[in-house]
Amino acid sequence: MATLGFERGTAFLSQQLAFQGELAVIVEAAQGNGKSSDPTIRQELADSYIGVQIMKYNGLRMLTDLVKNGVIGPSSSIGKLYWSNWHRTLGERSMHVLGAAASIVGATPGSEYELDEFHRIFMSSRAETIYAGASEIQRNIIGERVLGLPREPR
């Protein structure tokens, strides 16, 4: 449990920096293709920006806990649940920004597909709510070990 706490906690702390970079690329694309004037896309991008800021401050809170107590508790599950869902949604939003163009991925000779940044985010983020403990498992941990709710029925 301690090792997995570190995997869910500190191992992913620096990720929000990469996420900020990815969001900046998506915002730039929306400004480039005019999607930034679409009211729905604007809301989605603003919501993603808010999400990455929340991630940053949650990460700092987790670090403070670590410095004070020397361990990362089960609350690291909150971070894992949050970032993986945020990133999966960002992948979907990057497809919204591309619009119809999102259905085309450049194929390279030898049947290998070369993914651009948008498709890479979309495809790789689908696995993130599964590895390092699926979202359902994180919710169990939060329910039982953070909130002290009864264990789920076996």
Told to check if 134 binds ligand FAD by CB under 6 A, we report yes
- Whichever of 60 and 149 has its CB closer to ligand FAD, that residue is 149
Size of the site for ligand FAD (CB under 6 A): 8
**Which of 96, 120, 140, 144 touches ligand FAD by CB under 6 A?**
140
d(CA 73, CA 146): 9
Residue-by-residue DSSP string for the chain: -HHHHHHHTGGGTTHHHHHHHHHHHHHHHHHHHSGGGSHHHHHHHHHHHHHHHHHHHHHHHHHHHHHHHSS--TTHHHHHHHHHHHHHHHHHHHHHHHGGGGG---EETTTEE---HHHHHHHHHHHHTTTTS-HHHHHHHIIIIIS-PPPPP-
Residue type, 21: G
Tokens of 61: 């809170």
Shortest separation between residue 137's beta carbon and ligand FAD, angstroms: 6
Among this protein's residues, is 7 annotated catalytic? yes
Shortest separation between residue 15's beta carbon and ligand FAD, angstroms: 15
- Whichever of 63 and 142 has its CB closer to ligand FAD, that residue is 142
Told to check if 136 binds ligand FAD by CB under 6 A, we report yes
Told to check if 17 binds ligand FAD by CB under 6 A, we report no
Q: Which of residues 90-129 bind ligand FAD (CB under 6 A)?
A: 127
Shortest separation between residue 83's beta carbon and ligand FAD, angstroms: 15
Binding site for ligand FAD (CB under 6 A): 127, 130-131, 133-134, 136-137, 140
- The residues annotated with a catalytic role in the active site are 7
